[in-house]
Amino acid sequence: MEQPALQRKYIWPGMLRLAHWGMALAVIVLLVTAWLLHWTPTVATAASDYHQIAGALLMLSLLLRFWLLLTDRTVAGWQALVPSRQSVSGMVAMLRFYVTLGGAPLPGWYAHNPLWMPIYTVLFLLLAVLSLTGFFMTEHPVVLGVYLPSLHRSVAPLVGLFTFAHIIAVVMHDARGKLADVSGMLNGFRLFEIKQPEIGKGTTEHRVSLDSLKVKSWRPGDDE
């Protein structure tokens, strides 16, 4: 009989976590201050100041993340965000998990959630558009026939929707799973469930290394 065992492994490098939390903090402040600018004119000046500070933080965090995409050869590189044929089954399993609100089993993956891999790519592009339009629209409101303030306001709700969905998804992962996804982005470690034969009379101990599991089931670009 196989019994599950948990193995802890360092996955997320510090620079990736720094970029992640920089973008997360910036986006939350941007969304809140944008709402204040629209609905509470009495605090518009202060909200505008914090909005600009958060915009600068988002731009710096994005530059760091794009640099990692181009230079990193592990989970922070662009290869790790490219879905492969092997990741299709993981995407289907994750979709089933979300549709059933956690009723279906939560599948395992090495680094990035397979269903969110292409979504992350779209998100980075949206954040880049948000940053560039916010930076240029005051001095150059129209570029190549595009009215930047209108584009900026159109992209912001999409980023807000992703942020809400991402928070709900991570809470579901920690509530239904055993691999502590939230703490993984804090300390860099993830837990992996590895099945091994039960040790008893007439059996011999059999250990499976996480590295061998990684080689068999994951390559950069297979799963997030």
**Residue that has been written with the tokens 């209108």 in this structure:** 150
pLDDT recorded at residue 207: 47
CB atoms within 10 A of CB 137: 18
Sign of torsion, CA 128 129 134 136? positive
pLDDT band at 170 (very low <50, low <70, confident <90, very high): confident
Within a domain: residue 163? yes
pLDDT higher than 50, residue 86? yes
Residue range 1-28, pLDDT digits in tens: 455 677 888 899 999 999 999 999 999 9
pLDDT recorded at residue 221: 42
What total number of domains does the chain contain?
1
- Rounded Cα distance between 40 and 190, Å, is 42
| DSSP-based three-state secondary structure for 141 | coil
Burial of 85 (0-12, 13-18, 19+ CB in 10 A): exposed
22: containing domain = 2-215
- Rounded Cα distance between 79 and 73, Å, is 8
Query: Residue 211 sits in a domain of what CATH number?
Result: 1.20.950
Within a domain: residue 221? no
Residues counted in the chain: 224
Q: Which two tokens stand for residue 38?
A: 């629209």
Within a domain: residue 13? yes
Whether the pTM exceeds 0.85: the reply is no
pLDDT recorded at residue 171: 86
